[in-house]
Amino acid sequence: MSTIKDVARRAGVSLGTASRVLSGSTSTSPESRAKVQTAAAELGYIAHGPARSLRRSRTEVLGLLVSDIRNPFFSELAHAAESEAMKRGYAVLLANADEDEVQADEYLRIFASQRVDGLLLSPQGPVTPRLAALLASRLPVVLLNRSVEGLDAPLYATDNAQGVGLVLDWLERRGHRDVAFVGGPVTISTGAERQAAYLAGREAHGISTDDAFVDAGDFQAEGATAAMIRILDRGVLPTAVFGANGPTTLGVLHGLRERLGAEAASRIEVISFDDLEWFEFASPPITSVRNDAAAIGRLGVRGLIDLIEGREAASARIAMSLVDRSLVDRSSASRPVS
């Protein structure tokens, strides 16, 4: 790989001039500009990022730490974040914490070592010492979707209360009284917020306040299946189930089938926080409130770059929208086919 020295030599100018042309800092004469540019093109010169970073103490790399890129919510978020970052000249280092604090912490070390310019964080748990150290070093950070106590950073997140409100309205409209709720860990802000909003709103929407209908998993499919089964094993039979995120809803379906069989399960309506592309093909189709992951990713990157470049960044709550897939009225849908 050729260096800027090679370019300068070939263009017949000094190293400084070549640098000025290539990074466009101060003005240069049209002639040297042309000479340097053709020389660079001929050599296929590509600036050495690490060297530039060392000198400028900025890497133009962002760190993105999510819990699991396999969760469609995060893969859509990552896609949007990465696309927005590239548009603004930043690359993205990806990290999957797998909902594991230790692993998350290890990634923070790698990010710190790579000297990322900023951090997009969907926190796994409390603020670890290493994260505290990074914050103390004034590394710009924005939070995605989840907040965490003691971390004062702009938050780009779903409007959980509003989304749950849409769910409650829909449940009431559909005439459901016996509704099961499968939540996520209350140690995660999204889990706590969604559960709190649901519990608080149940009564006003004519939904049973029997806590036998309520349980929580780990925001993954397996944990949700177990939670769904626990609910059914308490001897209650819901007419509808509310899953608190995408993987949870998948787990709910598994749990319903496992305990009730496909036939009986198909008489229970399911509504989900997070919309998945296949919900319309389930039977009955699954209604959802759509969580705009792309918007969160995009806004997060913009906010982070604002912070990096010394501007202010304001938190934002992204409103959710109902995707109503209930085609028929319940009285007929809930009767077995005869």
Partner DNA sequence: CTGTTAGCGCGTTCAA
Partner DNA sequence: TTGAACGCGCTAACAG
Per CB under 8 A, residues contacting its own copies are 1, 44, 46-51, 53-54, 59, 61, 64, 68-70, 72, 75-76, 78-79, 82-83, 86, 91-96, 98, 103, 106-107, 109-110, 112-115, 133, 137, 221, 250, 253, 276-278, 281-283, 337
Q: Name the strand (E) or helix (H) holding 5.
A: helix 4-11
Q: Name the strand (E) or helix (H) holding 55.
A: helix 49-56
Return the residue of 41, 42, 48, 261 that touches DNA, per CB under 7 A: 48
Residue 19: contacted member of DNA, its own copies, none (CB under 5 to 8 Å, by partner type): DNA
| Alpha helix segments (H runs only) across 213-269 | 221-233, 246-265
Residue 15: contacted member of its own copies, DNA, none (CB under 5 to 8 Å, by partner type): DNA
Report the alpha-carbon distance of residue 279 to residue 268 in Å, rounded: 14
C-alpha separations of 240 from 28, 253, 272, 316, 333 in Å: 70, 11, 11, 31, 13
Nearer to its own copies, 204 or 328 (CB): 328
Inter-axis angle of helices 160-173 and 189-201, to 10 degrees?
A: 40
Least Cβ distance, residue 4 to DNA (angstroms): 3
Nearer to its own copies, 208 or 266 (CB): 266
Return the residue of 34, 38, 42, 51 that touches DNA, per CB under 7 A: 51
Residue pointed to by tokens 């009767």: 335
220 belongs to the binding site for DNA (CB under 7 A): no
DSSP bridge partners of 334: none
End-to-end Cα spacing for the chain: 74
Size of the site for DNA (CB under 7 A): 28
Residues found near DNA in the complex (CB under 7 A): 3-5, 13-17, 19-20, 22-23, 25-29, 31-32, 45, 47-48, 51-52, 54-57
